[in-house]
Structures are given as structure tokens and as C-alpha cells.
Amino acid sequence: MKYLSWKELAEKINSMSEEEQNKSVKVWGEDNPLSEEVLLENHNQDMCYDKEDFERGCDFRSNFDDECDLGVALEAGKYYLFY
């Protein structure tokens, strides 16, 4: 499996017919076999998780206390596809 850069993804999209480009995006994933609810997001803060309280889930860095031992799940300024 080859991982695409954003540029390669854009080139593939640009090579599609206009009709194909206007169809909804579908994403295959383990937890949700086929999803049409796809978002492209970019945030100005890291999305983090507390390494000692993983059940809390991910949230913006500013929503955690200073004493939390944080891991970074999604880096600020990068684009991510969500479903």
C-alpha cells in the first residue's frame, strides 16, 4: 500500500471527470466500514490525549490541565480527513 501526499491526492482528484468529482466522498475504515460523512479539517491547536487517562479521549491542548502528561494525536496546522 502506498501512502499519498496531499499533492498526489489532488492530482488524482483533478484527473477524475467532473461528474466523479461531484459525488460524495466515501471512506473505508475498521470501525465504520463505509462512511459518507467525511470532513477535511485543520486546527490551530494540537489535539491531545492524557497518557494516564486515555478514556478521556482527545481534546484541544488548552482544555487539559498543565499537570497532565499529554500525547499528541493530531498536530496543529496539518490537514486531516475525518469520518
Quickly state the pLDDT bin for 39 (edges 50, 70, 90).
confident
43-65 per-position pLDDT tens digit: 999 999 999 988 889 999 999 99
What's the alpha-carbon Rg for the chain, to the nearest Å?
Answer: 16
Q: What is the pLDDT of residue 32?
A: 66
CA neighbor of 44 nearest in space, from 63, 66, 64, 60: 60
Each domain of the chain, given as residue ranges in start order, spans 25-82
Please give the model's pTM, rounded to 2 decimal places. 0.65
CA 66 – CA 82 distance, rounded (Å): 28
Dihedral class, residue 57 (left if φ above 0, else alpha if ψ from -120 to 50, else beta): left
pLDDT tops 80 at residue 40: yes
Q: Which residues make Cβ contacts (< 8 Å) with residue 11, sequence separation at least 6?
A: none
Q: What is the pLDDT of residue 15?
A: 95
